[in-house]
A and B are shown apart, each in its own frame.
Chain A
Amino acid sequence: MLNLIAGLDRPTSGSVVVQGSDLAGMSREALANYRLRTVGMVFQSFNLIPSMTLMENVELPMRFAEVDRDLRQGLSRKALERVGLSSRVRHRPVELSGGEQQRAALARALINQPQLLLADEPTGNLDSHTGTEIMELIREFNESLGMTVVMVTHERALAERYVKRMIFLADGKLMGDESNALANLTNTQGVRA
């Protein structure tokens, strides 16, 4: 489902409408631009490029967005500071713990200021303590930056603690949709899958 929303995959039937435009009808080029500017992705296995330092990893989406070289350094340093990695900017992913890697991945996902953050089991490879740290960060960004977060997880307990709306999927079928009674929906984007 996340692949469909991210524009990485195309639906065999039906449509995926984000911000009023149908992803199914977009060209490959337009989808790439959509991934670049509208969505940010966080993966279970972090997916940082091992040969690049954290700084370079965070810079990468800005290269595709053709942000000026002089501007990029400052922006990526600030993004890494925000996730508490200011002392690790010159490190490579293998030199870091899983939690640190996921925080760097989060910084990378947010660097182009997306309106939509897609998280594919972001805590799946982390111990529960670090997982909570990551979730706190995501919530913080959700509130401070005002973007919608769509997260896929197997941990119902974790999800219940943070989400405003839960959708249950099993074997590709929609099993349930419940809004968290405590949540007041601040986002206006509709997500259909």
Chain B
Amino acid sequence: MKAYDLADLAARNLRQSLLRNSLTTVGISVGVASLVAMLSLGIGLQQLASRRLQKSGLFDTVVVMSRRDLRNFNREQQNSGPAPADSPALDEAARQQIERLPNVREAYPDIRFITELRYEGKPHLTMVAGLPFSTKNNDAFDGMQGTFFSSETAPEVILQKAFAEELLGKRPKPGADEANVAELAKPLLGQELLMRYTERVENPGSPKSAGESRLTTRNEADDLPQASYSVFFREQKLKIVGLSDLDPDSMRGAARARVFLPLTLAEDLHVMQPSNLRDTSRTLGGSATYATISVRVTSPKYVQPVEDAIRKMGFNTFSITDATRSLRQFFAVLDLFLGIFGSLALAVASIGIVNTLVMAILERRREIGIMKALGASDRDVKKLFFAEAGAMGVMGGAVGVALGWMIGRVINVGTNVYLRRQNIPPEQIWAVPWWLVAGAIGFAILVSLVSGMYPAGRAARLDPVQALRYE
């Protein structure tokens, strides 16, 4: 039989018992809808989680340390690679070299120092950190009052909440709620702080680059004065532009300070770093080195190759890639479970298809007998029943996807209403990618055809003599 004849006859038969076939199709729709709704939420949550992780900057960051440093906490790295004394220095040249690696978005030094800030004449001692301009897009500063730095060298600061409390002379009462950031921000935004710091100035004749510094490892007393620099006492006025509610003890590297400066400004100030003094006592050369460099890669999947490349350069590295891997695993299992639960309804619907078609055989017994007497082959009859099952699958799949899409949407809207009541910004926790639509309809058709196998086989084997005798 030709395809259009098959479709025509199948459609005619489906119309014959419209109510029953519609109900069966509704059954499939409900099954597909539950599958789509479940998976759309699973996929949506996964996308939300990976969006969040991407934004947090945790999973696309590699922290680079010098092997000369004492801060080696990874035994494996300790025991492989060049000896600490022979390894390269983590200085500006190394930073530029790392930044030129493929898939590296940026590499910035971790600049931090403890110093005194004066507010209304009173001194406050605290940790100050340089903040790269790209942090603007991180969610770390989502709950910030005021604005981010106006430029990369603007003499501006963002304060951490606890430090703001200290400046205003407020003490958090035990048991009381956390201070409101907005309240703290009001008197502070736009005010000035005076930062006192020590500037490191290279002495003339001192080598500047890492390459030249190698020469100084020769143990000649005459070379030693080359590794020298002067330290000057400076003051810098800073304007308070923002107030962050971040917890200073959270694990984000750059956030572990109470006052933040634009990173480029911090670099330009040449503030004496704690590691500088330590380096001076060693015959390493005169150029300034960094304690650590943070490298941001373009995508979390490039963390491993970039780490490998940096290790090959002779540095130690650290990243949290394992966490993303186990997260992906978790969502794969979650999707599997959601899919299984979603498919349960479809399994029930498939029994409905079998039932409907078996009923149709009983009803159309005589008709099948006539068709066979007129020359329809077993295959024609089988194909006809498959076409009917497939048509119910297509319709049920299409309606089910639409229904599931709506259910997912409603759940999303409902969740967001709840989130808004809890003062949490709304989130997209639901996603219907095109492959889910195609997959769900395809799966519905597949389930329908499998369900149609038994009735179709039974109809095809029907004895025409018996069927024609049947009244």
Interface of A toward B, CB cutoff 8 Å: 3, 6, 8-9, 28-29, 32-33, 35-37, 41, 43, 47-49, 51-52, 60-61, 63-66, 69, 108, 112
Contact = CB atoms under 8 A, between A and B. Distances in A.
22 contacts: A3-B465, A6-B373, A8-B373, A29-B378, A29-B379, A32-B375, A32-B376, A32-B377, A32-B380, A33-B375, A35-B372, A36-B374, A36-B376, A41-B374, A51-B12, A63-B1, A63-B5, A64-B1, A64-B371, A64-B375, A64-B377, A65-B375
Given A35-B373, A65-B375, 4 more contacts: A36-B377, A60-B374, A61-B375, A112-B375
B6 to A, nearest CB: 9
A43 B376 contact: no
Interface string B5-41: 1000100100010000000000000000000000000
Contact of B375 (A3, A28, A37, A49): A37
A8 B4 contact: no
B2 A35 contact: no
Contacts of B375: 32-33, 35-37, 61, 64-65, 112
Given A41-B373, A47-B373, A32 B465 contact: no
Those 6 A-B pairs whose CB atoms lie nearest each other, nearest first: A36-B375, A32-B377, A35-B375, A63-B5, A61-B374, A8-B464
A36 B374 CA distance: 6
B378 A32 contact: yes
A63 B366 CA distance: 18
B370 interface: yes
Nearest to A30: B377
A47 B12 CA distance: 18
B370 A51 contact: no
A65 B5 CA distance: 11
Contacts of A66: 1-2, 5
Interface string B362-397: 000011001111111111100000000000000000
A29 B377 contact: yes
B265 interface: no
B468 interface: yes
Contacts of A36: 374-377
A120 to B, nearest CB: 9
Nearest to B366: A47
Interface SS majority for chain B: helix
A28 B375 CA distance: 11
Given A29-B378, A32-B375, A64-B377, A49 B16 contact: no
A29 B9 CA distance: 21
A102 to B, nearest CB: 14
Kindly state the interface size class of chain B when it binds its partner: 20 to 34
Contact of B468 (A28, A43, A48, A69): A43
B20 to A, nearest CB: 15
Contacts of B376: 32, 36, 64
A3 B373 CA distance: 9
Nearest to A72: B5
Most buried by B among A8, A32, A48, A69: A32
Contacts of A69: 2, 4-5
Contacts of B370: 47-49
A46 to B, nearest CB: 10
B9 A63 contact: yes
A86 B465 CA distance: 31
B2 A9 contact: no
A63 B367 CA distance: 15
A65 B366 CA distance: 20
Nearest to A67: B2
Nearest to A40: B374
B468 A47 contact: yes
A63 B464 CA distance: 19
A36 B12 CA distance: 22
Most buried by A among B9, B12, B370, B468: B370
Interface string B454-471: 000000000011001000
A35 B465 CA distance: 13
A8 B465 contact: yes
Most buried by A among B376, B377, B379, B468: B377
Contact of A49 (B367, B378, B379): B367
Contacts of A60: 371, 374
Contacts of B371: 60, 64
A108 B378 contact: no
B4 to A, nearest CB: 7
Most buried by B among A49, A64, A108: A64
Contact of A8 (B1, B16, B372, B379): B372
B374 A28 contact: no
Most buried by B among A37, A43, A63, A66: A63
Given A8-B465, A43-B468, A32 B5 contact: no
B252 to A, nearest CB: 70
Contacts of A47: 366, 370, 373, 468
Nearest to A46: B370
A63 B379 CA distance: 13
A9 B463 CA distance: 8
